[in-house]
Amino acid sequence: MQLRYSFRLYPNGPQRSALARAFGCARVVYNDALRARETARAAGEAFPKTGDLSKLLITEAKTTEARAWLGEVSAVILQQSLRDLDTAYRNFFDGLKGKRPRMGAPRFKSRKDNRQAVRFTANARWKITLGGALTLPKIGDVKVKWSRMLPSVPSTVTVVKDAAGRYFVSFVVETDPQALPLTDNVVGIDLGLTHFAILSDGTKIDSPRFLRRAEKKLKREQQRLSRKTKGSNNRTKARIKVARAHARVADARREFHHQLSTQLIRDNQAVAVEDLAVKGLARTRMAKSVHDAGWSAFIAMLEYKAALYGRQFHNIGRFEPTSQVCSACGVKDGPKPLNVRVWTCGACGTVLDRDINAAVNVAKAAGLAVSACGAQVRPGTIPAQRGETGTHLDGQTTETGISVL
């Protein structure tokens, strides 16, 4: 399977200028190709092929005075820019055909975009020196902070500059699955906001709320940015400070996701999680908290780490009634308001924690053999039959308040 290894890059002054030139040239070729294809589409003509665009926009353009500076960078990154445009169009049309989630049509790139990137393939003759530097064509030997060894020879190298002005290099490598020792443990996971993850064994992992905790500092930096004159150097410095503050939040969230997902994969032979409608929840009043949690990124980490370490990953449907079914007896007694955190099953009398009960049901829906005892908060009496009590309730007794651990 293919994995991406990312490391911090520290170019010096001339190398930063060379990278800026490379970013700009790749962006210009991408925009020229997009413009050529959009012009052909508007005229009702067939899309120009990549080979024709390469000859026109790269080979021949270098001989003109207007585009002579394209020769100052590696031709490989210009070719890769055309391939990126092909990928963008392919993803767009596949979305229209229903082969993948819908996405917008390719758009023109701007030098003010938050992310700038160029990609080098093997024929660019990049290499890693004995001293640990990364040699890039027409850029030089760039210092890399290595945090781990590469498992194999990379197929591509991508240099990225983010909104905070940091440089990264990512390598795409082929690696074999690294099967971990077998274990009998399996787990179902219910994701939430108050608790980031609730496990079927009763464990509750609090949500770190990185964005909420950093809001005060982010607000202060954003206010300072808004007071700066547009186009001034001070505004540029303030913008970078805001971007760095957001980058620290994103880095902390990503580190939390990596640590938790690795622990769950190492400790369990099979992991089950519910497919959440994140886009729908992001349009509600809980949008900021939903984005702060980062459920989609966490689920993606669980999936690829399960494949890497020989574990089973199950993603059950979002319409599974995990919060409506008693994990002890299997009786479904209807939906419950969000403020109901503890409830009593009207059929068997088990007092259930809403979140732990949902986690157990997630595991059961995936076919995992888990015990439902983790969902029980405290013993409950079996209610009398409806005929004996003379009531017409739906068989459900609810209790509101703070969740019981």
Give me the active site residues, please: 190, 274, 355
Please identify which residue in the block is written with the tokens 């004996």.
388
Cβ atoms within 10 A of the Cβ of 80, count?
22
Q: Hey, which bits of 182-287 come out as E strands?
A: 186-191, 195-199, 204-206, 270-274
Cβ 245 vs Cβ 287: under 8 Å = no
State whether residue 191 is helix, strand or coil. Answer: strand
Interstrand relation of 134-136 and 127-128 (parallel, antiparallel or unpaired): antiparallel
Question: Alpha-carbon distance 329 to 325, whole Å?
Answer: 8
Report whether 312 contacts 363 (CB < 8 A).
no
How many whole angstroms separate alpha carbon 211 and alpha carbon 206?
Answer: 14
Strands, sheet with 195-199, edge to edge from the N-terminal-most edge strand: 204-206, 195-199, 186-191, 270-274, 312-316
SS3 label, residue 139: coil
Cα end-to-end distance, the chain, whole Å: 40
**DSSP calls for 295-348:** HHHHHHHHHHHHHHTT-EEEEE-TT--TTTB-TTT--B-----TT--EEE-TTT
The number of helix segments (H) and strand segments (E) in the chain equals 10, 16
Residues 6+ apart with CB under 8 A from 94: 100
d(CA 30, CA 37): 11
